[in-house]
Amino acid sequence: MVITSISNEKARLFRALSDARSRRELGLYLVEGANSVGDIPPSAVVRSLYVKESKQADYESILSRFAAERVVLSDDLFDRVSATVTPAGIAAVVEIPASADISALNGDKLIVLDHVSDAGNVGAILRTAVAAGYREAVLIGSADPYSPKAVRSSMSAIFKIDLCFSDIPAFLSSKNMQSYDIMVLDMMGESIFTHVPRGKYALVVGNEAHGVSAEIKAAAGRRLSIPMVSMESLNAAVSAGVAMYLLERNRI
């Protein structure tokens, strides 16, 4: 059956998952695009698959990987309910996994997003983190990594990194976090080019406009800056990417 009405409950669900409140209440998020849907790992719980009527044959090899319900929308309806400008015509509704426990984080390096407000930056930071070998991330008051924009920007990294949702008091008081050298990106800090990390560390990237929270900055063992010529700042995702790779290059 091909769904053509926007009032259909399945079409409404697709549209609703663009809203943060609906994602929280339902515990679901949307993955759009052939590459992203194709990258969904077996460990993820896929509730349903959506496909454009005209794209069923094109995406059959992807769709057939999953046992989830298949929902076929008319081309016009798919375009109406999708949050993307030019929808690819395939999407999956996936369960949001439980937050990782901050006391159980055990990687030799962590990326911490402290009130990063732009979903595109959140997704891009997670993408670079996975590429640089980070397997765990802590999100404190940041944009929802399960929003359509963040999921698209992550380019499937959302499936490859454990996310821990925390707040500042829990982050700073965790006994586990006391085993990490907390480093914050700060324009007034020492040059990251010459810093040599030793042991486990947590790199904190702050808000695009205000930087790292004062409480975290005060508790940090080190403040690091990226030297710049003729510019005052870099985009948060770019700064995070430069820092993650430099720290790994310099690590002992």
Q: What is the pLDDT of residue 251?
A: 84
2-95 and 102-250 have identical folds: no
Instruction: Say whether domain 102-250 belongs to CATH 3.30.70.100.
Output: no
Provide the token pair at 239: 């700064």
pLDDT of residue 232: 82
Would you kindly state where each structural domain of the chain is located, as residue ranges?
A: 2-95, 102-250
Length of the chain: 252
CA dihedral 211, 145, 26, 43 (to 10 degrees): -140
CATH class for the domain made up of 2-95: alpha beta
**Using 50, 70 and 90 to split pLDDT, how confident is the model at 153?**
very high
Largest CA distance in the chain: 62
Percent of the chain, pLDDT > 90? 92
Q: Is the pLDDT of residue 173 over 80?
A: yes
User: What pLDDT, on a 0 to 100 scale, did the predictor assign at position 5?
Assistant: 97
CA–CA dist 148, 152 (Å, integer): 6
